[in-house]
Structure 1
Amino acid sequence: MKLQEAIQNLKEKGYKTTKKRKDIITFFAKADGYRTAKDLIQFMEPTYPGISFDTVYRNLHLFNEVGILETTELNGEKLFRISCTSHHHHHFICKDCGRTKEIAVCPMEEAVNELTNYSIEGHKFEIYGICPACQTA
C-alpha cells in the first residue's frame, strides 16, 4: 500500500489525516519489514517531543483496523508493517531485524480440503527465522 492509498483509505473511513498520522504512515511505508511501536516512537520523538505511547498505540490499532497496517507477534511483542494489498502472499520474517521476504506458497488449498463443513473466515501463514544479512553479521 502506498502513502496516498493509505491516506485515502483513512479519509474514506471518516478519519482525519493529520500530519502526525501521515508521518506514521510514511515511517511504515519506508520500513523494510515489521517494526515495533518503540521503533515508531524513536522515529517520531524528534518531531513530536514527548509523544505518548497511548497516541502511538491508538493510531497503530486504528491503522490495523482500517487495513493500512498488518500485524504479527514475535517474542511476545506486536509488530506492524504496511499492508500488502497488491496480491495474495505470505512472509518469511527475520527474528533479528524484522525484514520480510514474500512467499508465494499458500497452504490454504490443502487446509480447505481437510476442513470440509467448516466456515473459514481468513488465514495467516508466516515463517520465522534469520535472514542472510543477519546470519553473516
Structure 2
Amino acid sequence: MDVITAIDLLKKKGYKYTDKRKDILQLFSDEKRYLSARDVQDSLKENYPGLSFDTIYRNLSTFSDLDILEETELEGEKKFRFTCPTQEHHHHLICLKCGKTKEINACPMENVTTDLSDFTVTGHKFEIYGVCQGCVN
C-alpha cells in the first residue's frame, strides 16, 4: 500500500480527503513499521496541536477496516502499519523495540496436524517477536 492508493481507496469508499488523513498515511509510508495511535499523535502534534487521540484512533480503525492498514497487538496496545504490498501469503517478524517488521515466507499452518474437520478455519495470524540488529546495539 502507498499513500496515493490509500487516498484513492478512501475516496472510492465515500470518505473525504483531508490533510490530516493524508499526513497520517504519509507517516506510515515514511516509518515502515508498526505505530500506535499515541505514536501518530506525537508525530503530528506540531502540525495539528488540537488533534485528539480519539480522532486518530477512529481514522486508524477506518484505515484498518478498509485494509489500508494491518494491525497487531504488542504489549497490550494496538499497533498499525501499512498493509503489505505483496499478495502472497506470509507472516512477520516484529521488533519489540522499534516496531520494524520483516516478512517470513513460510507458514506454520502447513504443519498443523490436528484434525480440523469439525472446524471451519477462516483465517490465521502468525507473528514472531524479537529485537532487530539495529536495536540490539
Scaled by the length of structure 1, what TM-score is found? 0.92
Q: What is the RMSD of the two structures over their aligned residues, measured on CA atoms? A: 1.5
Structure 1 equivalent of residue 58 of structure 2: 58
The secondary structure found in structure 2 opposite 1:54 is helix
Report the Cα distance in structure 2 between the residues aligned to 1:7 and 1:35, rounded to whole angstroms.
Answer: 19
Alignment check: 8 A CA contact 2:10 2:16 kept? yes
Q: Deviations over 1:49-102 (max 9, x none)?
A: 121111111101111111111111111111110111422211100111111111
Report the Cα distance in structure 2 between the residues aligned to 1:80 and 1:4, rounded to whole angstroms.
Answer: 18
Structure 1 equivalent of residue 98 of structure 2: 97
Structure 2 equivalent of residue 75 of structure 1: 75
* Runs (5+) with no aligned partner, structure 2: none
The secondary structure found in structure 2 opposite 1:102 is strand
Q: Which moved more, 1:2-11 or 1:111-120?
A: 111-120
Deviant stretches of 4+, over 4 Å: none
Report the Cα distance in structure 1 between the residues aligned to 2:94 and 2:40, rounded to whole angstroms.
Answer: 18
Structure 1 equivalent of residue 132 of structure 2: 131
Q: Deviations over 1:83-133 (max 9, x none)?
A: 114222111001111111111011223338742342111111100011111
Structure 1 equivalent of residue 49 of structure 2: 49
The secondary structure found in structure 1 opposite 2:61 is helix
Structure 1 equivalent of residue 116 of structure 2: 115
Aligned pairs, how many?
A: 136
Scaled by the length of structure 2, what TM-score is found? 0.92
* Runs (5+) with no aligned partner, structure 1: none
